[in-house]
């Protein structure tokens, strides 16, 4: 049993063993996991009628800068983020985990991995169907986490972000990657998405995958202003890119992959 799990609202000395014994379905919010890298602030969702005798797919999803951890006043700011909620509304029963990390560098990447491992160790997770998603700063974090431990993740949704991880390790483990960036993203610009796609494509090819096989594990979507306008978004394309979590075909693509 790894780590200690605390409720940030109560700040008790409850252990991870106690927390798992009290496991319930639905949303469990504003938790704290004590790990070697420090405190990890997170919330999670368990399917209704969650049972330890059944294994569930799991997704670790990380929000952007405005929903990170900035102290007690920011606690739970990711709870209404659609990048968290959309997976809980999916027809298939999923374990969904979202953290409020404190940076988008090495520490946050290691904490994302620690959180993933904590859930593998303490919850009924299908290890062949662990997924990741990251948006903006959360994408910088998760691109590093996935490249550091590609053995953990079957697929990764990289939304409106730059790729800060390695390419080769992801390709060698054949982790499926879907890259989404608005053509006129004001913060990153779409060129960074193209560079990530090209870098991954090169490494998938070097790993021996054919063009058809690469198409099955690597996707790039760069929608233009008209695509966004059709969905009621006519500006702030970086923030508006969160609408990717409304696209059922993207979510289905991610969840279709297995180790």
CATH number reported for the structural domain that contains residue 236 in this entry: 3.40.50.1820
Q: For 34-79, what is each residue's pLDDT tens digit?
A: 998 899 999 999 999 999 999 999 999 999 767 777 778 878 778 8
Residues 167, 190: contact at Cβ < 8 Å? no
Residue 3 is predicted with a pLDDT of 52
When comparing pLDDT for 211 and 12, which is higher?
211
Residue 73, judged by CB atoms within 10 A of its CB (0-12, 13-18, 19+), counts as exposed
Q: Is the dihedral of CA 96, 149, 156, 223 positive or negative?
A: positive
Residues 29, 80: contact at Cβ < 8 Å? no
Lowest-confidence range among 26-30, 115-119, 125-129, 177-181? 26-30
Rounded to whole angstroms, the Cα distance separating 159 from 138 reads: 9
Residue 12 is predicted with a pLDDT of 31
Distance of CA 166 to the CA centre of its chain: 17
With a cut of 50, say whether residue 25 has pLDDT above it: yes
Rounded to whole angstroms, the Cα distance separating 64 from 68 reads: 7
Q: What mean pLDDT comes out for the span 136-150?
A: 97
Q: What residue numbers bound the domain in which 85 lies? A: 4-255
Residues 154, 130: contact at Cβ < 8 Å? yes
Cα 85–57–21 angle (5° rounding)? Answer: 85
Tell me the Cα Rg of the chain: 18
Lowest-confidence range among 17-21, 188-192, 246-250? 17-21
Residues 97, 169: contact at Cβ < 8 Å? no
Rounded to whole angstroms, the Cα distance separating 18 from 68 reads: 27
Q: How many domains does the chain have?
A: 1
């Amino acid at each position: 049993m790894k780590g200690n799990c605390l409720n940030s609202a109560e700040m008790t000395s409850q252990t991870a063993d106690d927390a798992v014994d009290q496991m319930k379905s639905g949303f469990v919010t504003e938790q704290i996991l004590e790990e070697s890298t420090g405190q990890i602030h997170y919330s999670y969702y368990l399917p209704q009628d969650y049972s330890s005798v059944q294994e569930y797919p799991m997704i670790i999803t990380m929000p952007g800068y405005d929903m990170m951890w900035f102290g007690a006043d920011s606690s739970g700011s990711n709870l209404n983020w659609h990048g968290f909620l959309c997976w809980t509304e999916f027809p298939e029963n999923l374990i969904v985990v979202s953290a409020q990390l404190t940076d988008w560098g090495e520490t946050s990447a290691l904490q994302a991995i620690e959180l993933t491992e904590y859930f593998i160790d303490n919850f009924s997770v299908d290890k062949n169907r662990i997924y990741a998603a990251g948006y903006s700063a959360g994408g910088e974090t998760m691109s590093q986490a996935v490249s550091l431990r590609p053995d953990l993740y079957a697929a990764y949704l990289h939304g409106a972000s730059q790729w800060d991880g390695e390419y080769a390790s992801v390709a060698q483990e054949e982790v499926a990657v879907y890259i989404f960036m608005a053509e006129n993203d004001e913060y990153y610009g779409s060129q960074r998405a193209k560079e990530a796609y090209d870098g991954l494509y090169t490494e998938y090819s070097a790993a021996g995958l054919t063009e058809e096989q690469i198409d099955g594990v690597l996707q790039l979507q760069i929608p233009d202003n008209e695509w966004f306008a059709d969905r009621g978004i006519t500006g702030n394309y970086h923030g508006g890119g969160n609408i990717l979590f409304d696209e059922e075909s993207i979510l289905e693509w991610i969840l279709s992959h297995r180790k």
